[in-house]
Structure 1
């Protein structure tokens, strides 16, 4: 693959549409091509904006809840067959069925009352998670869409690609990462503001996603850069390991 071909791969790279060989060749090319580095960063940010504008991250437990509930839902009886059966039953039969239906309903309500409460709580928790994801997405989108948003992209220690977007007007920063390995069991990636060499906690990343956009918690407040470390689950007050990523904010 020649250099001319590599210049055309910025869009595919931003969308993770390259093969492993193409990705390796293009990332090697990025080290010597400032134009492609800048274009790839801008396209990556744009792709994240579009994704945030059109999607909502579902709760992790939603799929399991749906599959579990499917097994307990009866299939509707065809209306035609139901009509034939009703036509063939007499008044006494209908009255008996009504009594049985009423009794069954009362029994079911008593037996399933606890289940209904549990399901209501589960649904409420799921809705809360979706709303939180929506609000987080809106805050990230506000930073990415800010007129004064500035970006910087760099290769990380594990081969991942990181882009930091900073908006002075929003006083916020967003870290966009692609191809990041999952942290070890019981560990989490923690974000930090770099305040002139002093690291200030800025939230935790999603341990289940290698590609993500994370809003740093708190204001930029004059920080010169950001870092990412591996910390015990739940995070730490101060870094306890060497940074896996350390990036200066764009001017």
Structure 2
């Protein structure tokens, strides 16, 4: 059962419409009296909307007919049978899947171009990787114990889930790094900065799952590094955010 103390941790799940009807009702009552949660929900909602809108692309003329033609030449796989889930569980999960599709499309657009050139196997591999990254992203943002920390770098936040042992950096309207440079993410583990991945230098709106264990780190840092990243930070961190203990 969700306690009053737990309500502060539900901002991410509420923004993703991943709460049950009872939890949503209780949380909305809580919002009316909690300014910090109200601001956090607004920021989460605005960011997810921007991430979805960023992938809206008009298809080129004739693409529909090409897709229909290719579909007609591909054998359909038999349906996979899986144990049925309770209806309540599906209702809770379905909105996450919708958001996941929006986020996956951003990386999937590149796969369409590959497929059109006949390299369907490469496209399928990339699509699987995208689904895996997206599933992990949604799991962290929608976790019941997700905690958000503001990053003093444009409009960005770090979201951490101790249960998932993962952290996500969500950025909106991010200033592009200098030419030939990239933003690199780091975990501060016992005073040592360990690389947690690179951000996409060409995107202003993005959500990145940091590589490695979040529970072992005390902070997350962001530096500007040469394209391809560095083994160790070569510049002073633009931001260093303390993680919840």
Q: CA deviation at 1:197?
A: 3.2
Q: What is aligned with 2:67?
A: none
Contact residue 152 and residue 164 of structure 1 kept, 8 A: yes
Q: What is aligned with 2:149?
A: 152
Q: What is aligned with 1:29?
A: none
Counterpart secondary structure, 1:140: helix
Structure with more helix by fraction: 1
Q: CA deviation at 1:65?
A: 6.0
Counterpart secondary structure, 2:132: helix
Counterpart secondary structure, 1:129: helix
Which of 193, 197, 204 does residue 199 from structure 1 map onto? 193
Q: What is aligned with 2:26?
A: none
Contact residue 41 and residue 163 of structure 1 kept, 8 A: no
Mapped to 2, the partners of 1:141 and 1:237 lie a distance apart of 28
Q: Does 1:222 align with 2:216?
A: yes
Counterpart secondary structure, 1:164: strand
Q: How does 1:30-49 map to 2 (within 5 A)?
A: 34=36, 37-44=39-46, 47=49
- Indicate the RMSD between aligned Cα atoms, in angstroms: 2.7
C-alpha distance 61-136 of structure 1, shift in aligned 2 (>3 A): closer
Contact residue 188 and residue 204 of structure 1 kept, 8 A: yes
Which of 121, 137, 140 does residue 137 from structure 2 map onto? 140
Q: TM-score, normalised by structure 2?
A: 0.58
Q: What is aligned with 1:128?
A: 125
Q: TM-score, normalised by structure 1?
A: 0.57
Q: CA deviation at 1:43?
A: 3.0
Counterpart secondary structure, 1:135: helix
Q: CA deviation at 1:60?
A: 5.8
Q: How does 1:179-190 map to 2 (within 5 A)?
A: 179-190=173-184
- Unaligned segments of structure 1, at least 5 residues: 1-13, 15-32, 70-118
Which of 45, 52, 62 does residue 100 from structure 2 map onto? 52
Q: Which of 1 and 2 has higher RCO (CA within 8 Å, sep 6+)?
A: 2
- Unaligned segments of structure 2, at least 5 residues: 1-14, 16-34, 52-95
Higher-Rg structure is 1
Which of 220, 240, 250 does residue 244 from structure 2 map onto? 250
C-alpha distance 65-54 of structure 1, shift in aligned 2 (>3 A): closer
